[in-house]
């Protein structure tokens, strides 16, 4: 399945976040790090509704409320796709 680069980053961010969930903020959807190990500011990438809609159309995420979502969670298919992308990235790193 072909995903836009920003959609891939959103999928991997959701996979790495608490509960495989992205939360909506005023700027868009963000991941919550599993564990923050510093008292400094944490920088996270913000994903637009359009990028999240791409994942929704592919069946990789599910909204908690379709009209006014507060969170978006990976489906089983989304978790599987994120695992494949993670493994492919690890294999490329080892080959280099």
**pLDDT of 12:** 94
**pLDDT of 90:** 66
72, 22 contact by CB (below 8 A): yes
> CATH for 5-95?
1.10.10
Count of CA atoms in the C-beta half-sphere (13 A) of 62: 7
**pLDDT of 32:** 80
Rounded alpha-carbon distances, angstroms, from residue 3 to 6, 15, 42, 54, 63: 8, 15, 27, 8, 19
Q: What is the pLDDT along the chain (96 residues), one digit of tens a residue?
A: 788 999 999 999 999 998 999 999 999 999 887 666 777 777 788 999 999 999 999 999 999 998 999 999 999 999 999 999 988 866 666 565
**pLDDT of 92:** 66
**pLDDT of 91:** 65
Name every residue whose Cβ is closer than 8 Å to that of residue 52 and which is 6 or more positions away in sequence.
10, 22, 29, 61, 72
Domain segments of the chain: what residues? 5-95
**pLDDT of 34:** 64
């Amino acid at each position: 399945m072909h995903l836009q680069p920003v959609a891939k980053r959103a999928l991997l961010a959701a996979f790495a976040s608490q509960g495989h969930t992205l939360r909506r903020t005023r700027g868009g959807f963000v991941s919550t790090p599993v564990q923050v190990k510093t008292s400094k500011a944490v920088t996270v990438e913000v994903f637009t509704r359009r990028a999240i809609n791409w994942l929704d159309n592919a069946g990789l995420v599910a909204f908690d409320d379709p009209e006014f979502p507060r969170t978006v969670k990976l489906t089983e298919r989304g978790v599987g796709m994120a695992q494949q992308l993670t493994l492919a990235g690890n294999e490329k790193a080892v080959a280099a």
